[in-house]
Amino acid sequence: MTAVTTETQGLSEGQLYRVLTWFSPGFPIGAFSYSHGLETAAASGAVKDRETLQRWIAAILSHGVGRMDADTLCDAHRAAAAQNLEALTTANRRGLAFRATSEMALETAAQGAAFLATCRVAWPDHFLDRWAEMLEEAGNEVCHSAAAGAVTARADIPLGGVVTAYLHAMAANLVSAGLRLGIVGQTDGQRILAALEPVVGTAVASALTRDPAAFGGATVAIELASMAHETQYTRLFRS
């Protein structure tokens, strides 16, 4: 497994408490209602057991939206730490633009709006208020990863720990979707999360050092599944 970087070390009890709260499945952003195309993949038989579900999630984390969200989060975190609203807005705009389907765009924007609004109420911060006002005045949405980066930066939470928590939450939510779709049971779900630990570790290390010019993803099968989900007759999930 990739070694823990210095950016993930030294979390205070208060910082750890906030990370656990903000990336908990119970945090009110509606993450449970999205499957990121997994519902269609399950219906078609492309994802049918522990092995195929694990590969599907690993691809998202390493080459798909997980990779792009990690980069967006890093950019937003660094911008908010420097109180640079222009750079933060740019990071958010790019995070929104690189969505292959309407459902993926909805997924990040709805969760981002809920995340930022909840954090502003429960953990008030003048910089986040200014950013939210700018977004509202411009009629712009906020992507979840940019909101997460900005909020955690304002709490002085080390970047590496934030990216780890974010990608773990993404993986856990997809495993939960797999459970509800009947692809795997609870024990196999935990086996998947255990197997994804080095995948997340590598993804975090790459995100912390990646050249901004390398932004992007390559998960065509997942994007096609998301497109097909838009017209799927019977659906449990919004994506």
Whether domain 31-229 has CATH 3.40.50.2300: the reply is no
pLDDT value, residue 9: 54
pLDDT value, residue 4: 37
Contact, 171 vs 57, CB < 8 A?
yes
The residues, ordered by sequence, that sit 6+ positions from 42 with a Cβ below 8 Å of its Cβ are 48, 178, 181, 182, 183
Q: Of the candidates 99, 134, 135, which has an alpha carbon nearest to the alpha carbon of residue 226?
A: 99
Alpha-carbon distance values, 199 to 32, 38, 143 (Å): 22, 19, 23
Signed CA dihedral, 57, 62, 68, 71: sign only: positive
Prediction pTM value: 0.94
* Residue at 23: amino acid letter: F
- Alpha-carbon distance of 179 to 92, in angstroms, equals 31
DSSP state letter for 36: T
Q: Of the candidates 36, 73, 29, which has an alpha carbon nearest to the alpha carbon of residue 161?
A: 73
pLDDT value, residue 212: 87
pLDDT value, residue 5: 40
Boundaries of every domain in the chain: 31-229
pLDDT value, residue 6: 38
* pLDDT digits (tens), the chain, 239 positions: 333 343 445 789 999 999 999 999 999 999 999 999 999 999 999 999 999 999 999 999 999 999 999 999 999 999 999 999 999 999 999 999 999 999 999 999 999 999 999 999 999 999 999 999 999 999 999 999 999 999 999 999 999 999 999 999 999 999 999 999 999 999 999 999 999 999 999 999 999 999 988 999 999 999 999 999 999 999 999 99
Length of the chain: 239
Q: Which two structure tokens, joined as six digits, stand for 114?
A: 């809920």
The secondary element (H helix, E strand) that includes residue 202 is: helix 197-209
Contact, 128 vs 151, CB < 8 A?
yes
